[in-house]
Amino acid sequence: MAALLLGLLLFAMQSPPLPSRPLAPGGSSLPGTASPPADNGTGGHPNGTLQQLPQIIIIGVRKGGTRALIEMLSLHSAVVAAQNEVHFFDWESHFQRGLSWYLSQMPYAFPDQLTVEKTPAYFTSPKVPKRIYQMNPNIKPLALFSKHPAL
């Protein structure tokens, strides 16, 4: 299991960083995706961190090891994980709040850090893949965990 986690992390670290926000046609940021204003006027936290849309989303089944995976990834200094399951792509009440709300659920991270979100319930919703793709067609491959039904 540790080798799988390390391999996933190394794979994610090899590719060039993705834009932290999806771009609309013409290269401008989509409306509603800006970070909250900061005291220093840079659009981020005074210490230089920003809230970024996740570059990796972990999905899977309940009790399938997704919490263990995100905890292990969070041990690496280049990874920052959302604290809670966000349920943005599967709960209509959250999805209707828009990308600005989703972004506000993400942790502050330095530009060279990967932001990771985990919501196992994305596995059971047929609308999730399309919504994730619409947010960022270049998102990292989703880590999918399942377990034997008898366990």
Query: For the segment 82-100, what is each residue's pLDDT rounded down to a tens digit?
Result: 999 999 999 999 999 999 9
**Residues forming the active site:** 63
Q: Tell me whether residue 66 is annotated as binding.
A: yes
| Domain 48-151 class, CATH top level | alpha beta
Q: Tell me whether residue 63 is annotated as binding.
A: yes
Query: Are the beta carbons of 78 and 116 closer than 8 angstroms?
Result: no
pLDDT at position 4 is: 61
Alpha-carbon distance of 11 to 82, in angstroms, equals 20
Alpha-carbon distance of 9 to 6, in angstroms, equals 5
Pairing of strands 143-145, 50-51: unpaired
Alpha-carbon distance of 67 to 28, in angstroms, equals 35
Which of 25-34, 37-46, 77-86 has the highest mean predicted lDDT (pLDDT)? Answer: 77-86
40 Cβ contact list (under 8 Å, min separation 6):
46
Q: Tell me whether residue 64 is annotated as binding.
A: yes
Does the model's pTM come out above 0.75? no
pLDDT at position 67 is: 87
pLDDT band at 138 (very low <50, low <70, confident <90, very high): confident
